[in-house]
Amino acid sequence: MNKIRNNKLAVFLFMTPAAALFLVIIIAPIVMSGYYSVLEWDGMSKGTFVGLQNYAELFSSNSIGFQLALKNAFLLAILSTIVTLPISLLLALVLGNGIKGARFFVSALFVPSLISSVVIGQLWSKIYNPDYGILNMVLQNIGLEELTRTWLGDPDTALIAVYIVMLWQYMGYHMLLLYAGVKTVSPELREAARIDGASEWQVAKFVSIPMIKSVIRICVIFSVVGSFKAFDLIYVLTNGGPAHASEVPSTLMINMIFGRNRYGSGSAIAVFIIFLCFFFAILIKKVFKVEEEE
């Protein structure tokens, strides 16, 4: 084994397929998007070099709608961090204490994460339907007719309605990651804290949570980055509407490229999404590293 590790040719041969795949699937599309982002190009004729004009247009006064899309993405990221993750963490802590039927609940909560986002979008569009949707029917039957509305067609409720679907789909995913982390905490440590008089909340706060900070960090990164690159669920439910109320950078990018044939502007949005994902992933890692050092 050591001879293979010391053989640079063998290492090169083993790494070449993975490196080539990484270059073709990841690096090459990013480089091509960066190239197209500095062109005024309709996808058919020859592109015209315009420098950083497409990037400047994203934040100009006559913006194509990117500022609103970015605002919505930030709102989804905040909600995912302060709502989805605490709920997932609470479920993981409760189930991690070994309650009866824990495996069933873990499996049941994780099932939505296994279902295609397109299927989930179609399912929830029926639930939100203003005419025969179960949500409005329940509100009517319990005497709350004034609360019924066109959930996905109302600019005031479209984005929050989309977020609720995202919460339902990804809550179990984060719960499973955190549950796995909680199960790695030594039961002896938790039991020792209980013997010393700590309540279940104190055991969670001072024993379990500090020991799974690395898992929490991963979940925070997934939540924030996932919010900035969210696409399929929003596209199926609202396609960014109504009146761009639920528009996010990814849906705007698709609209610019395939709806308006503005490949340069769409590529600029794609590059900006990549930048945001990398920036916040690094920032979150730095924040957790500072907390660990303190």
Which pLDDT value is given to residue 135?
Answer: 93
Domain 65-293 class in CATH: mainly alpha
List the Cα angle 285/174/286 in 5-degree steps. Answer: 5
The number of C-alpha atoms within 13 Å of 64 and in the hemisphere containing its C-beta is 23
Which pLDDT value is given to residue 5?
Answer: 57
Distance, CA of 281 to CA of 288 (rounded, Å) = 11
Distance, CA of 160 to CA of 218 (rounded, Å) = 24
Global pTM value: 0.90
Distance, CA of 131 to CA of 273 (rounded, Å) = 37
Which pLDDT value is given to residue 32?
Answer: 94
What residues contact 173, with CB distance under 8 A and at least 6 apart?
A: 110, 113
Distance, CA of 37 to CA of 262 (rounded, Å) = 10
Q: Where are the domains of the chain?
A: 65-293
Using DSSP's 3-state secondary structure scheme, residue 40 falls into strand
Token code pair at residue 65: 């709608």
- Please choose, from the candidates 57, 47, 42, 24, the residue with its C-alpha nearest in 3D space to the C-alpha of residue 272: 57
pLDDT tens-digit profile, the chain (294 residues): 555 556 777 778 888 998 999 999 989 999 999 999 999 998 888 889 998 999 999 888 666 789 999 999 999 999 999 999 999 999 999 998 878 888 899 999 999 999 999 999 999 999 999 988 999 999 999 988 888 999 999 999 999 999 999 999 999 999 999 999 999 988 888 889 888 888 888 988 889 999 999 999 999 999 999 999 999 999 999 999 898 999 999 999 999 999 889 999 999 999 999 999 999 999 999 998 877 666
Q: What is the CA radius of gyration of the chain?
A: 23
Instruction: Find the length of the chain.
Output: 294
CA 101 vs. chain centroid, Å, equals 29
Using an 8 Å Cβ cutoff, are 227 and 73 in contact? yes
Which pLDDT value is given to residue 292?
Answer: 66
| Beta bridge partners of residue 48, listed in sequence order | 40
